[in-house]
Amino acid sequence: MSVNHSLRDRFESGLAAPICLTWEVTYACNLACRHCLSSSGVRDPRELTTDEAKAFLDEVAAMQIFYINIGGGEPTIRRDFFELVEYGLSRGIGIKFSTNGSRITPEVAQRLAGNDYLDVQISLDGADAATNDALRGEGSYDTAIRAMENLRDAGMKGFKISVVVTRHNVGQIDQLLALADSMNAELRLTRLRPSGRGVDVWDELRLSAADNRALYHWLMAHPTVLTGDSFFHLSALGDPLAGINLCGAGRVVCLIDPVGDVYACPFVIHEQFLAGSILDGGFGHVWRDSELFRSLREPGSPGACASCGSYDACRGGCMAAKFFTGLELSDPDPECVFGHGETALAQRVSVGPRPSPDHSKRVTITSR
Amino acid sequence: MPEQPDFAAHWSLHPSVSLRDESFGAMAYHHGNRRLVFLKSPLLVDVVRQLDDFESADVALEALVADEQRAAVRRALETLTSSDIVRVG
């Protein structure tokens, strides 16, 4: 889907309801991925109750939000997870959920297959166990592959294999595409952001300028590969990538966290981008009336990018990537394809803000 | 070139499609093929919503759309058949 300019201006000023709403249903997780964008690990005791969660789904249906993306944490850890999924589906809401695959047994796969309104996304960050497990933890590759096999064998078609592209797996994307084909699945590649625990590994894992250029051309050559619109900063390299090609935070995208807090996008879980709570007057009220969202819908100023001929292609890039690397929101994207981000990074006076809240598991350091 | 859809047939919004009004027109989402499509004029939205009530797309266009806009709406409808938002027959 490529979008013409007048429509993009409409998106910039916001929609009646989000196109892409992510709902993280729990901060609990059985993995501890090094780049977890929500710093998940331990359940928050204030997590929405089943009734609160269902009331939220009622409102999603009333607002005619077509589909939601459920994530976490590991969403299937919630005891009422399948109850909530079935409730949402019964209200006509399309549901896609992201999982590490640990609960996708053959029986669960059977239950999931064959429902047009339900989609599953298995996270995998490498084409082999060594690459994947270095980021996601030992055994997580085998777990994900088993889940994919279970979905394939249950006859589920077109589920997603979702990969955060890093400098360690960017050379494996052809293998990952072949894996997706062999599983009757679709490949989804997304950008590594310095969000959550990702802030600690971003410098180590992020793509080089050469990697980013190669990735852009690969994506242009493989239009069926999904990207969640996350590489729009690369559109400044030439023809635009498929998608809306602008920062959708608070305009077409938002995040509901496990306690019902609404953030501008899944990659900015930080008090500065907290728009309100669904427990305080409902989600629609936050979406329409929050001061933060209203300000994000004001026409953007090109800021430091004003003199760049490609501003219209990338619109200054990703807000979260700037924020957590300590750049000003009016600065170029830290991975600006023309290198302006590197210049801005070199000139910043302080390190980026720490993500908050942090639900990482406490690490016990044992002395040897 | 894709085959020209049959405007003399009965057309309707696909039952798996949800429509939501927006300031520019409406957004349509097809739960089957998961395509999101933008209907960029309120007139087009109006026509799409009412297609089912007419015996053919041609009759709907004649009843709902002024002469000078008919060619544009016709083209827009055609693109909606290719994404299966609108069903022919």
Q: What value of ipTM does the predicted structure carry?
A: 0.85
Give the pLDDT band of residue B51 (cuts 50, 70, 90).
very high
Q: Does B33 touch chain A (CB under 8 A)?
A: no
Residues A143-166 have pLDDT tens digits of: 999 999 999 999 999 999 999 999
Look up residue A258 and give its two tokens: 């496990």
Q: Does B18 touch chain A (CB under 8 A)?
A: yes
Report the pLDDT averaged over residues B50-58: 97
pLDDT at A245 (0 to 100): 84
Of the partner residues A3, A92, A116, the one whose CB lies closest to the CB of residue B32: A116
Enumerate the residues of chain B whose CB falls inside 8 A of the CB of residue A186: none
Residues A238-274 have pLDDT tens digits of: 999 988 888 999 999 999 999 999 999 999 999 999 9
pLDDT at A2 (0 to 100): 46
Residue spans of chain A under pLDDT 70? 1-5, 363-368
Element (H, E) at A94: strand A94-99
Question: Å from A130 to nearest chain B CA?
Answer: 34
Measure the CA–CA gap between A351 and A101, rounded to whole angstroms. 35
Helix extents (H) in chain A: 5-12, 50-62, 81-90, 106-112, 129-136, 140-153, 173-182, 198-205, 209-221, 283-289, 291-296, 311-314, 319-324, 340-347
- Over 90: is that where the pLDDT of B81 sits? yes
pLDDT at A327 (0 to 100): 94
Counting one residue from A and one from B, how many pairs have CB atoms under 8 Å apart? 40
pLDDT at A134 (0 to 100): 98
Cα angle A149, A75, A114; round to 5 = 45
pLDDT at A354 (0 to 100): 83
Interface mutation vs chain B, best among A8, A66, A121, A253, most B CBs within 10 Å: A66
Of residues B81 and B2, the one with the higher pLDDT is B81
